[in-house]
A = this chain, B = another copy of it.
C-alpha cells in the first residue's frame, strides 16, 4: 500500500526491478543514492522513463500549439515553457484521481496563470480526466469544455476559475486555509483523513497584482506549509520583457513574507524540478519555487518573445517547433500511444490513493462516528438538522438595533449549530460584528475565526477558496464601501457559483462622520448588476435573521449581506417575513393610492411617510424589498401583487437611484457623494426623511398640469 509518493532517498517498493507502472513514479535522480549498485534493469527503466517524460513534454507542447492554432486565438507561450515542470508536478507530486475529480482529500491544483489554460487541458486530457480529444479540438469554441480560461464547474479537474490575474493564487490560499482548519478539527492522532496540498502555477502577472501581496503576506503569516507556488519566471509579459515594468526581487519579497523560496536556473529540467518540489513538500512554511523558463520553449523564432504570449504561433513556427522536437508534423493533435499509456498511470495511482483514503475514512467512521458524519455532511454541503432552530426573533418593542448588531447575534447562534461556519474580517471585526467565539486561526493553530488584516481582496478570494474546497461555510466582513477593493473576487464567486457569504456593514451615508470616502453610494447598484449574486439589505433585526438564514441555506452562489451601522427600529410585521421572496407588503390596504418601496434603513422612513400620508387621507402601501434579485425570481403573479404596475410608486434608498425605475415612478435616491457629519444629519440633509418621501408621493398623485 503506497498512498503517497516516496520521499527523497526512500526506495520504491520492489526497486531494483521496478514494474513498468512504477518507473514513472521515481525520476532517475530520486532513486540514485538509495540503490547501491544500479542494476541493468534499472538503467533500462531509467532510460525508458527519460524518453517517456521527454515525449510527454513534447506531446503537451504539440497539443498546445495545435489547439491554439485551430482556435485561431489563445496563449501558447506559457504552456510550452511550463510543460516540463507541470508534467513533473502532475505525475510525481500531485495527489489526484482523474476518475474521481471531486474526491475530498485530493490535492488542489490551481492554474493562477489562467491564460495558460491549454496546459491544464492537455494534462487533464492525457492523464485520463473526462476531457476527450474532441474537447481539445474545440478549444475556445461555443459550448466546449475548453474555454479560453479555465472555468470551475465546466471542466472536470478545474478547481477554480482563473484568468483575472492574482485570483488563483489568493483563492489557493483559501483552499490551503480550509485544509488546515479541517485537518486540525477532524484528524486524530491515529487516523489522518484530511491531508492534502494546494499547488499553484503563477505568472509574473499574478505576482504584480496587488492581491498577490495580500494573499502571500497572509499565507506567510499563517504558515500555510502545504501551499506550494511555482512561479513561471519566463521574463516576458504582454508588453515585452518583464524588465520594462517588473524589476523587484521576487524571492526577497516572498522571504519577507515568511515563505520558503527556492529558485531554479533551469526551470525546464525535470530532475531539478522534481527534487525542488520534493523539498517544497518538506517545508514548514509556504513555498515559492521560482522556475526560470522560456516562453514558447522550442519555437524557432518566437521563443522568449512577447509575440508568443497571446496569439497563435503560426503554421510555420509550429512546423519549426515540431521539427526541432522530432515530432510528426501531421496529423495535428497527435499523441503517441506510448505517451497515452505512460500518462494513464496517473489514473492507476490516483485511484489507488483514493481507495486507500476511502479505506482510512471507513476506519475513521467506525472509530469516530460523530466526527465522520459531521465531516461527511460538511463536505457534501449538507446542513445539520435543526441548524436554524435557535435563530432569534425580535419584537417591535425591542430597542432599536443596528442590523450589523442583529447580524452579530444571529451569527453567534448559527455558529453553535454550524461547525462548518468559519469566517473573519478585514481588520474590522468589532465594527462588522463578524467574530466567532474561540481562538482565532493563528500560525500553527487553526481556529474558526480569521484575522485577515486590511486585505479585503485576498479575503474575498480566500473565502471563495474555502467555499470551493468544501467542508466549510465561509463568510467575511468589511465595510460596504470597501467591497470595491474585492470586486474581482466577488465577481468570480458569482461566476463560479461559489456559496461565499460577504458581510458588508456601514451600508450608507447613515454611517455618518467618516464621510464620503467611507459612505457607499454606488455600491448597491454595482453589486446588484453582478449576475448570480444575491444582495440582501434587511430593513431591521428580523429581516437580518431571515437574510442569514437564506445566505446559509443557499449552498450555490454567493450572497452579500448589506447591513447598517446605525441603530434601526424593529418594525411591526417583519417577524417571520418572507425575506426569501425578495419583497413583500409590510403595511397598507389592499387597494392603496400610492406605494412606497424601500430597502434597509429606508424602510422605517417609508413607514413614517406612509403615516404622514395616511393622516392626510392618502392610503399608502409600504413594500420592503430586501433583495431585488430574489424578487425578480418570483412568479410574475406574485410580483404584480406586491408591486402592481398600475400603482404609483415611490422608491426610497439612500444610494444611487440606478435600477429603481424598474419598480418606481419616482425615486428618492442619491446622485452625489455623501458628507462627513453625524449620520442622522447627513440622512436628513440629503433628503432621507419621511417629509421628502411624502412630498414625492403627493407630487405623484397630484393631477398633471
Contacts and interface: CB of A to CB of B under 8 A. Distances in A.
A5 interface: no
Given A208-B217, A208-B453, A453-B246, A142 B685 contact: yes
Interface of A: 71-74, 114, 140-144, 147-149, 151, 161-166, 204-205, 208-214, 217-218, 220-221, 237-240, 244-250, 252-253, 255-258, 425, 427-431, 440, 442, 451-458, 481-482, 484-485, 487-488, 491-492, 494-495, 512-518, 521-522, 525-526, 528-532, 656, 658-659, 661-662, 670-673, 675-678, 681-682, 685
22 contacts: A73-B513, A140-B515, A147-B515, A147-B516, A147-B676, A148-B513, A148-B517, A162-B517, A165-B454, A208-B217, A209-B455, A238-B431, A239-B428, A240-B451, A248-B258, A250-B256, A253-B253, A253-B257, A528-B658, A531-B656, A658-B659, A661-B662
B522 A210 contact: no
A515 B154 CA distance: 12
A214 B208 contact: yes
A209 B485 contact: yes
B163 A517 contact: yes
A453 B532 CA distance: 31
A238 B161 contact: no
Contact of A425 (B239, B246, B247, B678): B239
B521 A531 contact: yes
Given A148-B676, A212-B210, A495 B512 contact: no
Nearest to A518: B163
A562 to B, nearest CB: 15
Contacts of A73: 512-513
B677 A142 contact: yes
A259 to B, nearest CB: 10
A73 B140 CA distance: 55
A486 to B, nearest CB: 9
Contacts of A656: 529, 531
Contacts of A661: 659, 661-662
A112 to B, nearest CB: 12
B244 A451 contact: yes
Contact of A210 (B72, B143, B211): B211
A141 B495 contact: no
A672 B629 CA distance: 12
Contacts of A256: 248-250, 252-253, 256
A605 to B, nearest CB: 19
Contacts of A147: 515-516, 675-676
A186 to B, nearest CB: 25
A204 B46 CA distance: 53
Contacts of A220: 247-248
A680 to B, nearest CB: 11
Contacts of A440: 244
B454 A237 contact: yes
A531 B525 contact: no
A247 B237 CA distance: 31
Contacts of A457: 210
A615 to B, nearest CB: 29
Contact of A237 (B427, B495, B673): B427
A314 to B, nearest CB: 17
Contacts of A494: 673
A694 to B, nearest CB: 23
A250 to B, nearest CB: 7
Contacts of A247: 220-221, 258
Nearest to A211: B210
Contacts of A530: 521-522
A151 B210 contact: no
Given A210-B458, A517-B149, A451 B245 contact: yes
Given A204-B454, A661-B662, A682 B209 contact: no
B248 A161 contact: no
Contacts of A484: 164, 487-488, 491
Contacts of A258: 247-249
B516 A427 contact: no
Nearest to A660: B661
A128 to B, nearest CB: 24
A648 to B, nearest CB: 15
Given A209-B454, A210-B458, A212-B210, A513 B71 contact: yes
Nearest to A306: B430
A506 to B, nearest CB: 12
User: Which residue of A240, A455, A659 has the most chain B CB atoms within 10 A of its CB atom?
Assistant: A659
A489 to B, nearest CB: 9
Contact of A488 (B72, B485, B495): B485
Contacts of A142: 675-678, 681-682, 685
Contact of A677 (B140, B210, B238, B675): B140
Given A238-B427, A454-B204, A658-B528, A495 B673 contact: yes
Contacts of A148: 513-515, 517-518, 676
A218 B245 contact: yes
A656 B527 CA distance: 11
A529 B669 CA distance: 11
A483 to B, nearest CB: 9
By Cβ-Cβ distance, the 8 closest A-B pairs, closest first, are: A210-B210, A213-B213, A147-B676, A245-B453, A163-B517, A522-B529, A142-B677, A252-B256
